[in-house]
Amino acid sequence: MGVVNVLLAVFFLGVLPLCIGLGVCPWLGLRKGFAGTYLAGSFTEWALFQIITVPMALFKRSLDTETLAMSLALGAMCALGVWALIRGEWQNLLPRRQTDGAGVFALVLLAAGLILLSVEMARHMTLSRDDCRNVAEVVDMLRTNRMYRNDPSTGAALAQFDSDWGRDLFAPWAVYTAYLARMTGIQGTIMAHSVLPEAILVCMACAYWEIGERSFPGNTFAKAGGTLLALGLVVFGSHAAVFENVALWRIWQGKAVIAAVGIPGLYLALAPIPDRPEGWKPYMPLYLVCLACCLMSNQGILTGGLVCGAFGLVWGIRTRKIGIAMKVWAGALICAFYYGAYRVAWSVLF
């Protein structure tokens, strides 16, 4: 990679989500701060990818068309962020309280841990059949300019989708990776295995930081220490192939992003709802997270639907308000829509 490629990667994986977050946080009524803003921008970007990519892939549009459409959409969202910067929203990214010595020490340890994990993720990888298929899809899209129309193991055109390609079309995480590779000029395999994991690691740290902010507001030591502890549990849980530690050794794959960022994001979107359940605005972050989870993996479609269904049932009973349950269940309906579209497309079109 050259200097230009690195700068483009920093822009698309760092600056762009942060800028989008600055634009959408006021509309969503979300708490400001670097971690929350970056996380909100990332989920908004992924939600846009899900909305735009699935119909384009289904109706056989090229990767060039997808790239143009996504660039226009992200450019518009970025413009909102630039306007927010002009209005002075950047000041909300700065710390509001003076950090004591213990907090600074915890922050230094957290930064060192993130750097260590970042280096290890870039140097080591664990491959599987799923990973080989997904990364091969990225390379095939970049080579042929077609989305989910070739068997990447042979290069031959698909006469009809089998179960793997059909599921991937309705959870097109590979298209997101291919888009980043095309926009940065970085090879698809390098983007998937060495560049994208660094951004997902930052998102994971931001998600746990925000969970810490909800549990220990204003306590830097507790937030940094809790984030470091969560990352440590992921690291030392890697002796068994459970859902959570997939985030460490295969973080570039969609289902690993669900474990690393999607599930914490669902919690962060759902937890504040009982505090302010009136209207639709408190539920909008949940719908964005559900759309983003659908992009990541078909496991995200199932996970988002089940989590929203369970939370809606519990809070509907607890508050005795069917309206709260119905609004939370709308998130499950988003996931159910993509699952139903997959089943209909499978039986009718393919």
First to last CA, the chain: 40
Asked whether 48 and 31 are in contact (CB, 8 A), the reply is no
pLDDT at 120: 75
Quickly state the pLDDT bin for 184 (edges 50, 70, 90): very high
pLDDT of 299 strictly over 90: no
User: Would the pTM count as exceeding 0.75?
Assistant: yes
Q: What is the mean pLDDT of the chain?
A: 83
Take residue 341 and report the two structure tokens written for it: 């579209």
Give the model confidence (pLDDT) of 325-344 as tens digits.
898 999 999 999 988 887 77
Is pLDDT at 106 greater than 60 in this prediction?
A: yes
Tokens 């669902």 correspond to what residue?
266
If you average pLDDT over residues 114-120, what whole number do you get? 82
Q: Which 3 state secondary structure label does DSSP give 157?
A: strand
What tokens does 237 get? 């849980």
pLDDT digits (tens, 9 = 90+) for 195-250: 888 889 899 999 999 998 888 887 888 888 888 888 877 766 654 444 455 566 67
Phi-psi region of 192 (alpha: psi -120 to 50; beta: other; left: phi over 0): alpha
